[in-house]
Structure 1
Amino acid sequence: MSKQTTFEKAAKLIADGAIVSVSSSSGLGCPDAMLAAIGKRFEAEGHPRDITTLHPIAAGDMSGIKGIDHLAKPGLLKKTLCGSYPSGPSSAEPPLIWQMIGSNEVAAYNIPSGILFDMHREAAAKRPGVLTKVGLDTFVDPRHQGCAMNDAASDPVVRIEQFDGEEWLYFPAIAPHVSIIRATTADERGNLTYEHEGAYLGALEQALAARNNGGVVIAQVKRVVENGTLKPHDVRVPGVLVDHIVVDPDQLQTTQTPYDPAISGEIFRPLSTFRTPELNIQKVIARRVAMELRDGWAVNIGFGISANVPRILLEEGQHGKVTWVIEQGAVGGVPLLDFKFGCASNAEAIMPSPHQFIYFQAGGFDASLLSFLQIDRHGCVNVSRLSARPHVTAGAGGFVDITSRAKKVVFSGFFNAGAKLSISDGGLRIDQEGKVKKIVEEVEHISFSGKRAVAQGQDITYVTERCVMKLTPDGLMVTEIAPGVNLERDVLAQSEIPLLIAKDLRTTPQALFGEAHIGLDLTGAANG
């Protein structure tokens, strides 16, 4: 018997007070039509009411895929635990979920993505919860915000525990009543394959968590095929875990992308088809970040300026010297930009996202390239929350998981916010200074703990357009300044805190500010 049903019937499976887990990473793999059906049912019937949703990475992105905003209705959504949230430009109206967070109409928590996947796995195995050091001395720690994003989030989701003489964070497992996942193809028995998807994400863990606790699994797919026609090695979620199938033939592969076979690994694009960045300040920063890498490394990248570093390697003829690993699961290839961020073309492998996070949480990779919003005197970094513009930030996602034990982290961004900058005579020109300082006394949200990084011996570098800084036990040290930059006026006076100056202060290579290739050498011989 076929498990296929309608969206309307599937939406009626969500009971009042249900805990609903949703598999998605922004627009990637988002079961958007199923979420829309739940929102429509609530508008018509007033049910389901007071549900709790779990989103290990994120659902929706405000660029054509509404995701969690379908559920952001007072009375429908009571509590939500997300790795990250949809974000938008400061000039735009905030997403509905942010409006609810700001008005305390929903209890909102930001839990690191890897930990949320761990919570599903522990719930699936009927174990009590997750013991982890990921998040200590960050906003995750109950001595700070304990993952809470607003006053309505008053019920603790994490606590400190002593185990075997050490301090740990403990997250009780949460068993979903319903898991909503997505795939490309289902057969009539519910076996799921992912041939057009850009990632597997954590659908299997989410399905197991619901199934093993007496819950329901709903799978949104693009098509249904006859039993016996799917190859068993291709099935990522077996039909014994799937209760109902809903079909959306128009589901997007990822944001603003109906289907790109290179994203799902069905074809490989010629390297010449990848766009390399034009010369601007962001490219200068990305070039300097690239100089921190070495041949043979496995390197994670995040959203922002660092996302352009793979294109720098392409341009410099160094593609393949570094293996890129991203939290959605891609290993190798060329990570994509803009609306396709989280996907990669020409990947060597695509891992399930929960397994990728295990790799990250234990620091098995060589380096991570990430962004910053603020840096403070202890080297702490905020990427997850700005009270003045909360909906412009998305939350931490996998940032906390990735940085907790990373051997080396290179943070990149602009020294000040709002400065007008240009390239002139092979160096940097500051045409108008920014009004908002980003090197501050204390970050308002600790996404990365500089104190723990020093204690653990992590190698931490901060690359900006005007200087490079290193984290030392005594604080932030300026190790390099860009040509055209005045150390006193443009760096020290623009920081809210005193900065140390390296005795061997260097000048950033002038070649980074020119049109020609920079001669990038990942052996370390030329990078210093």
Structure 2
Amino acid sequence: MDVAKAVEQIFDGATIALTGSGGGLLEADAVLAALEQRFLATGHPRDLTIVHALGIGDGKGSGLGRFAHQGMVRRVIGGHWSWSPAMQQLAKEEAFEAYSLPAGAISTLLREIGAGRPGLITHVGLRTFVDPRVEGGKLNARATEDLVELVELDGREYLRYKPFKVDFAIVRGSSADAHGNVTLRREPVDLDTYAVALAAHNSGGRVIAQVKACMPEGESVPARLVRIPGVLVDAVVEAPSQVQCTVADYDPVLSGETRDTQCAVAPEVPTGIRYLIAARAARELGEGCSANFGFGIPGGIPGILAQQGRLGTFWGSVEQGIHNGEMLDGPMFGTARNAHAILSGVDQFDFYSGGGIDVTFLGMGEMDGEGNINVSKLGPTVVGPGGFIDITQGARKIVFCGAFEAKGLEVEQHGERVTITRPGSVPKLVQRVQQITFSGAQARIAGQEVLYVTERAVFRLERDGVRLIEVTPGIDIERDVIARMGFRPLVDAALLARRGALSQERAA
């Protein structure tokens, strides 16, 4: 179907489910661009509801940014917002109802909608900003409807993410045959493509699939390679300019079709503050562990492990469905060269929420005295949790990695000693985090092991609070750590003894 004709089907007030991830992964941008052009030319469709699990776009207007126009959307339910600054700004301006839910909860909810079940019932999100006792996932004043409710089953608390009707799914694949069967054989990830299509079809809606090429009459997608069967597909749009991702028109090593062990590229070793934090965090990874690495500072840990000759001693995975391989960082986070396995995002989140990870390494925006972490709302800017909540509430051990302060922090390292040459102007260890993306209280209930690693100090979550357990050599406990925190931590007895000894030395 011609792309303009395909988007003409979309009516005012429709609910559209999207799939995709940063770096152009599974981004059906030819369809989204045509939809944007139609709105700019005619003012329709307007008052849309957009649902997406992961961030979609290049930060310059593609993906979710195609909907960032006054009047085009009435509601956005997003797992991650950072790839569309324009949409983030409209959320600040109360231009629409803004909600954020865990990425895995959104993907899995779409599967449940497609299966006709009464929403998603899960522990994921308890006591975080998604919990209706906290914020209910509402990001601005215009968001007033309760999308999540607290329920109790067999004496235990759960959250129920409520189902809704999906009118349209916009998905992407590599190619389609004359039967409408779509394959993702040349894509680096599968994400929640099938769940998104299923939710629309079984809601009585329609599925628009963008592909790079339609196969000639008489040829068909091999049955084992069909990801979306033609029974779910209502329109196939051919987009010859479609590229695999932002770094490659097509690389079969990224899509897992071939292996290239001759040109293996070692992960980049981080430098500066990122090195200090990643190197200390890497000590928490035991041999044979199932591990997850988040975006940002934790993305530097594989470089440390490579430097130490420890690659291959653990099983790594990321939320986009990738297992092992040479994980890519930056805008291509969520992909890997020579991956061992590529699962659907829904299957991956089931693995995470059910406790499949021994240890996860994740970023740290803000931290408070209750052990809470905020990464989902920084100042007035909506970021969203992505898979952060799904991962942290299923992992047995969590290692948060972040600089002690932000904006201007500079340090020098001399051997094992670290000196703060310029403190940061924005504190990150605060009295109360702005938004609870990770709940210290829930972690205590679940009996999880939790560490907080910075360039100058390490903290541990305990029953009675957050305890300072390590201070980097060269750092003054009182001046460089405690005095620059928004709360006073518990302090390990060995550190107290060390501080007393240093005080006596100075006095002498």
Same fold, TM-score > 0.5, yes or no:
yes
* Aligned partner (choices 450, 463, 477) of residue 487 of structure 1: 477
Match for residue 384 of structure 2 among 381, 385, 395: 395
TM-score (norm 2): 0.94
State the SS of the aligned residue for 2:492.
Answer: strand
Structure 1 residues 506 and 186: alpha-carbon distance in aligned structure 2, compared to 1, 3 A threshold: farther
2:397 pairs with 1:408: yes
Contact 2:212 2:238 in 1 (8 A): yes
Matches within 5 A, 1:273-422: 273-388=265-380, 390=381, 394-418=383-407, 419-422=409-412
Match of 2:191 in 1: 201
Of 67, 92, 113, 2:63 maps to 67
The structural deviation recorded for 1:477 is 1.2
Code of the residue aligned with 1:214 in structure 2: it is G
2:265–2:326: 8 Å Cα contact kept in structure 1?
A: no
Please list, as runs of the form range in 1=range in 2, the aligned pairs for 1:153-168 lying within 5 A after superposition.
153-168=143-158
Residue 284 of structure 1, CA deviation: 1.9
- 8 Å Cα contact 1:39/1:70 also seen in 2: yes
> Which of 9, 13, 17 is the aligned partner of 1:17?
13
Range with greater deviation from structure 2 (258-267 or 444-453): 258-267
For the Cα contact (< 8 Å) 1:120–1:175, is it kept in 2? Answer: no
What do you get for the CA RMSD once the two structures are aligned? 1.7
State the distance in 1 between where 2:308 and 2:360 align: 20
Q: Classify the secondary structure of the residue corresponding to 1:128.
A: coil
Task: Select which of 468, 474, 479 maps to 1:478.
Answer: 468
Using structure 1 for the length normalisation, give the TM-score: 0.90
Structure 1 gaps of 5+ residues are 89-94, 508-528
Runs of at least 5 residues in structure 2 that lack an aligned partner in the other structure:
498-508
Q: How far does the alpha carbon of each residue in 1:134-192 deviate from its partner, in whole angstroms, 9 at most, with x for none?
A: 11111001111110111111111111223333322111112211101111111122111
| Residues 109-147 of structure 1: per-residue CA shift (max 9 Å, x gap) | 101111111211121111221112211111001111110
Query: How far did residue 47 of structure 1 move?
Result: 1.1
Measure the CA separation in 1 of the matches of 2:264 and 2:54. Answer: 32
1:36 aligns with 33
Aligned-residue offset at 1:87: 4.5
Tell me by how many angstroms 1:51 deviates: 1.0
1:3-39 deviation digits (Å, cap 9, x = unpaired): xx11101110111111100111123111111111111
Taking the aligned partners of 2:413 and 2:313, their CA distance within structure 1 comes to 29
What's the secondary structure of 1:54's corresponding residue? strand
1:137 aligns with 2:127: yes
Report the alpha carbon displacement of residue 256 of structure 1 after superposing the two structures with TM.
4.3
Aligned residue in 2 for 1:192: 182
CA contact (8 A) 1:331 1:349 kept: yes
Look up the match of 1:522. none
Aligned in 2, Cα 1:278/1:331: closer, same or farther, shift over 3 Å?
closer
**Matching residue within 478, 485, 491 for 1:501:** 491
CA distance in 1, matches of 2:428, 2:207: 45
Shift of 1:269: 4.4
Q: Does the alignment pair 1:232 with 2:223?
A: yes
SS in 2 for 1:61: coil
- Distance in 2 separating the partners of 1:61 and 1:174: 28
Q: Distance in 1 between matches of 2:248 and 2:91?
A: 29
Q: Give the aligned partner of residue 524 of structure 1.
A: none
Q: Aligned pair in 2 of structure 1 residues 445, 73: CA closer, same or farther (>3 Å)? A: same
- Using the alignment, how far apart are the partners of 1:359 and 1:326 within structure 2? 11
Q: Which amino acid aligns with 1:12?
A: E
Task: Determine the C-alpha separation between the residues in 2 that align with 1:76 and 1:250.
Answer: 26
SS in 2 for 1:273: coil
Q: Matched residues in 1 for 2:65 and 2:181: separation?
A: 29
CA drift of 1:506 comes to 11
Asked whether the equivalents of residues 323 and 333 of structure 1 are also in contact (C-alpha less than 8 Å), the reply is no
Residue 35 of structure 2 aligns to a residue in which SS? helix
> Helix, strand or coil for the counterpart of 2:494?
strand
Residue matched to 1:511: none
One-letter amino acid of the counterpart of residue 394, structure 2: R
Q: Check the 8 A contact 1:369/1:410 in 2, yes or no.
A: yes
Structure 2: distance between partners of 1:427 and 1:268: 41
SS, match of residue 89 in structure 2: helix
CA contact (8 A) 1:119 1:174 kept: no
Which letter maps to 1:105? A
Is 1:53 the counterpart of 2:50? The answer is: yes
Shift of 1:258: 2.7
SS in 2 for 1:370: strand
